[in-house]
Amino acid sequence: MATAPGGRLIARGAGALLVLLPLAFLALAFFLPLWQVLSQGLRLEGGWTLARVRGLLADPYVRHLILFTLKQALLSAGLSLALGFPLGWLLARYRFPGQELVRAFTLVPFVLPPITVALGFILFFGHAGYLNRGLMTLFGLSSPPLRVLYSLWGIVLAHAFYNAPVFTRFVSAAWGGLDPEPLEAARTLGARPLYAFLTVTLPRLLPAILSAFALVFVFCFLSFAIPLSLGGARYATLEVGIYYFARRDVNVPQAAALALVEMTIALALSYLYIRGGGRFISPGPPGRPQARLRLFSRPRQLGWCLYLALAALVFLGPLASVVASSFLRPWHGAAPTLAWYGFLISGEQDPLLGTSPLGSVLLSLRVGAAATLLALVLGLAVSWTLARARWALLETLLMAPLAVSAVVLGLALLIAFRQPPLAALGRGELAIILAHGLIIYPLVVRMIRPLWQGLDPALVEAARTLGANRFRAFFTVELPLLSRGLLVAASFSFALSLGEMTAVAMLARPGLSTMPLSIYHLISARKFGAASALATVLILLTGATVALWELAGRKWLSRYGQA
């Protein structure tokens, strides 16, 4: 059925409008606030100048922030490699009961809210934590033997907990895809196992290791909640420094100038990662699948017991401590209690939070649902736009929030919601929803766009041939086919929004506290029981969404792969 010229003109106009809408939205909600940060940092006495930035770089404290941020990111990435590489090896080379459960668990720390990780490390590795108390009882010690918390190594260890699964996933996938023939040939020629690994297997794994290392380094460089909770002012990073300037010292111009310094470094690191990423992760020629050994089938494999015990200590100890602490009343001989959960559901106003714990739970759920909806709509619009206008500059503009840290975005919106035109919207829940949506939607695009591009175009063409316009074809053909992928993206978005604290810390006002921010306030007040109960609820909510994500993702990939 032919389409009338007027109908084609309307369809083209609507298509052009859909291309412009995401750009217009980002211009108002992202680029304008970012420009205001630039103005605050580079304008002095009515003129543009680098004087404020130069003054910051001459400040010994700021130089310490920069060097410490780089140092802790490098050490954190190194320890993450040390913890994650053996687990990737284990999953790729051996088979054992519960292997899929372990593989799924490697995803949990990566999407676990960082503030719950910080709380778990305080409870487990703290001077009066479960581990130190156990060691003191076991060996009859009078003082805690482990003093890693509230130090550089406390931050590094927590980052390793959080990012070791990245190495596990990269290494496991890369190792599982290696052709075993070169290794078998080396062994046939007399090479010992260790020598064959160092000369044959490791060089082929190096691209995946370097790619994961670069990615983890950037993650740790931009980390906020863990350094804030475990380091404080003494072990502050650039992200924490920006927060302190803006919220503690109420010096927004200084915060803006420091944000520009951090953005420059972060963009340089991201550029290096992107430029090197293609070489890092380029796959080798496919080969036959490797045979997996049964774990503990040989005596020398018993050495894995030591690693597994260490991994359980690092990964399970903090999480178990959070759950255990939520059911214990420490000042009554650690007696079991449900009082902390009663406090959560009582609706009692807490002066520290400015709201009730139940209020913070409900706020997180509202913000998570609204931010997920915003991210899905914006992600679909951006994916639609990039599918029809494949310009590098346009893609850079539409995906720009991915290159800006959450604390800088929070600072930008903090400034923007004090000035027109966003000041008319009020600085409240809407600002947090907007911040979360901007943080999440580039990841939605990353998940939806490849699936959309992989759909058979003949299906849409058939619908168009039968008289459906472009929009009807989208809603009746493409959207149903993308529904399972959208469910995965929605689950992922909701989990990320629940755990996001950085932007909220910049934007929050009295009475407006999400679950992660409430946990931080309770930790600061040493109310660990209440913080643990709230963190356990947050872990359960996040775990449920992660399980939905993993389940839906597998079904989608299975169906998509058979198409």
CA distance 69 to 451: 37
Give pTM, 2 decimals: 0.86
* Rounded CA Rg of the chain: 25
Please check whether residue 498 is in contact with residue 539, taking contact to mean a CB–CB distance below 8 angstroms: no
Copy the structure tokens of residue 377.
């709509």
Q: What is the pLDDT of residue 387?
A: 78
- Res. 277: pLDDT tops 60: no
Torsion angle of alpha carbons 32, 34, 35, 38, nearest 10°? 160
Contacts of 321 (CB under 8 A, 6+ apart): 120, 123, 124, 129, 130
DSSP-assigned letters across all residues of 298-316: SGGGGGHHHHHHHHHHHHH
- Over 149-177, what HEC string results? CCCHHHHHHHHHHHHHHHHHHHHHHHHHC
Neighbours of 528 (CB within 10 A): 22
DSSP-assigned letters across all residues of 313-330: HHHHHHHHHHHHHTTEEG
What letter does residue 62 receive in the DSSP assignment?
Answer: H
- Provide mean pLDDT across the span 320-347: 84
Measured CA to CA in angstroms, residue 251 lies from 183, 386, 445 at distances of: 59, 39, 35
- Provide mean pLDDT across the span 306-332: 87
Share of the chain above pLDDT 90, in %: 34
Provide φ and ψ at 336, rounded to 5°.
Answer: -65, 145
CA distance 234 to 230: 10
Closest-CA residue to 233 (of 70, 92, 88, 64):
64
Q: What is the pLDDT of residue 403?
A: 81
pLDDT digits (tens, 9 = 90+) for 468-498: 776 777 777 777 888 777 888 888 899 899 9
**Mean pLDDT estimate for the chain:** 84
CA distance 546 to 366: 18
Q: What is the pLDDT of residue 270?
A: 74
Q: What is the pLDDT of residue 429?
A: 87
- Provide mean pLDDT across the span 177-187: 81
Domain boundaries, the chain: 63-291+302-325, 340-563
CA distance 22 to 374: 11
Q: What is the pLDDT of residue 226?
A: 94
Measured CA to CA in angstroms, residue 431 lies from 113, 371, 403, 411, 503 at distances of: 20, 10, 20, 11, 9
Copy the structure tokens of residue 385.
């736009």
Contacts of 84 (CB under 8 A, 6+ apart): 163, 164, 165, 166, 167, 168, 171, 212
CA distance 88 to 105: 12
Q: What is the pLDDT of residue 274?
A: 63
Q: Pairing between strand 94-95 and 293-294?
A: parallel
Please check whether residue 255 is in contact with residue 407, taking contact to mean a CB–CB distance below 8 angstroms: no
Burial of 269 (0-12, 13-18, 19+ CB in 10 A): middle
Sign of the Cα torsion 485, 489, 492, 498 reads negative
Give the total residue count for the chain: 563
- Provide mean pLDDT across the span 161-188: 85
pLDDT digits (tens, 9 = 90+) for 352-393: 787 888 999 999 999 999 999 999 999 988 988 887 777 777
Sign of the Cα torsion 74, 316, 111, 366 reads negative
Q: What is the pLDDT of residue 280?
A: 46
Measured CA to CA in angstroms, residue 396 lies from 382, 391, 434 at distances of: 11, 9, 20
β-bridge partners, 329: 335
CA distance 346 to 316: 30
Distance of CA 75 to the CA centre of its chain: 19
Amino acid at the residue 492: F
Copy the structure tokens of residue 475.
């809603």
Closest-CA residue to 422 (of 1, 20, 34, 5):
34
Neighbours of 214 (CB within 10 A): 19
Neighbours of 91 (CB within 10 A): 23
DSSP-assigned letters across all residues of 2-48: PPPHHHHHHHHHHHHHHHHHHHHHHIIIIIHHHHHHHHHHHEETTEE
Q: What is the pLDDT of residue 245?
A: 92
Peptide bond into 421 cis (omega under 30): yes
Fold of the 63-291+302-325 domain: MetI-like fold (1.10.3720)
pLDDT digits (tens, 9 = 90+) for 68-127: 999 999 999 999 999 999 999 888 888 888 787 788 777 777 678 999 999 999 999 988
Q: Pairing between strand 328-329 and 335-336?
A: antiparallel
Amino acid at the residue 206: L
Q: What architecture is domain 340-563?
A: Orthogonal Bundle (1.10)
End-to-end CA distance of the chain: 28
β-bridge partners, 335: 329
pLDDT digits (tens, 9 = 90+) for 203-225: 888 888 988 898 899 899 999 99
Please check whether residue 337 is in contact with residue 328, taking contact to mean a CB–CB distance below 8 angstroms: yes
Sign of the Cα torsion 417, 423, 427, 430 reads negative
Q: What is the pLDDT of residue 121?
A: 93
Q: Pairing between strand 328-329 and 94-95?
A: unpaired
Copy the structure tokens of residue 338.
């449900």
**Helix or strand or coil: residue 350?**
strand
pLDDT digits (tens, 9 = 90+) for 397-441: 888 888 888 999 999 998 988 888 887 676 678 999 999 999 999
Neighbours of 318 (CB within 10 A): 27
Neighbours of 50 (CB within 10 A): 14
